Amino acid sequence: MKLKPAAFIPELLRHLFKRPATIEYPFEKLKVPDDFRGTPVLKSELCIVCRACVRDCPAFAIEIETLSEEEKKYKMTIHNDRCIHCAQCVESCPTKALFMNDEFEIATDSRLKLKAEYTYTRPKKSGQQSQTG
């Protein structure tokens, strides 16, 4: 091993003429990849209320409330403030009613603003309803 003093100088000089490695974030944004795990969103017409997402969510961020048993009316609350964006709910969902969008700038000044609520009626036969709805 032979030591060479100032071996770093050519590399330093080369970088003087290169573009910056960073981008000016709020004005210019990087594109997120296709399968990016952003914010979970419910397509309420597809939900069959099997509660698999509620059972598997590691952050307990999904709640399903029964509004009316006869009318099959339900309310799903996705607490985005608790969400850890692991997309386990998307994987657990048997009807693909949940998906992750590419929204990543979700910071707000209040936790309450991050709550997403969906009120919906459960379809009688999930397959038929999903095509029409």
Partner 1 sequence: MKKITIPIGPQHPALKEPISLRITIEGEVVKHADVRLGYNHRGIEKLAESRTYIQNIYLVERICGICSHSHTTCYVQGVEKLCGLEVPKRGLYIRMLVCELERIHSHLLWLGVAAHEAGFDSLFMYTWRDREVVMDLLEIISGNRVHYAINTIGGVRRNLNEIQKEKILEGIKFLKKRTEYYTNLGTTEPTFVARIAGVGILPKEKAIALCAVGPTLRASGVSSDIRKDDPYAAYDEIPFDLCTADTCDVLGRVVVRVKELIESYKIVEYIIKNLPQGEIKVKAPRKIQPAEVVSRYEAPRGENIHYIKSNGTDKPERLKVRAPTLANYPATIEMLKNCFVADIPLIFAAIDPCICCAERFVELIDAKKGNSTVLSMAEIRKKYYSTETKRNVVWPL
Residue with tokens 């594109």: 31
Residue with tokens 């999930």: 126
3 state DSSP class of 14: helix
100, 41 contact by CB (below 8 A) = yes
| Minimum distance from residue 34 beta carbon to partner 1 (Å) | 8
- 2 is an interface residue for partner 1 by CB under 8 A: yes
Q: State whether the Cα torsion 50-56-62-67 is positive or negative.
A: positive
| Minimum distance from residue 103 beta carbon to partner 1 (Å) | 13
| Minimum distance from residue 7 beta carbon to partner 1 (Å) | 5
Print the binding letters for residues 41-60 with partner 1: x by CB under 8 A, - otherwise.
--------------xxxxx-
Strand partners, 66: 74
Per CB under 8 A, the list member of 33, 105, 107, 110 interacting with partner 1 is 33
Print the binding letters for residues 58-97 with partner 1: x by CB under 8 A, - otherwise.
xx------------------------xxxxx--x------
CA angle 100, 103, 56 (to 5 degrees): 30
Closest CA to 78 of 92, 98, 103: 98
23, 30 contact by CB (below 8 A) = yes
Nearer to partner 1, 2 or 124 (CB): 2
| Minimum distance from residue 17 beta carbon to partner 1 (Å) | 15
Residues that bind partner 1 (CB under 8 A): 1-5, 7-8, 11-12, 21, 32-33, 35-37, 55-59, 84-88, 91, 100
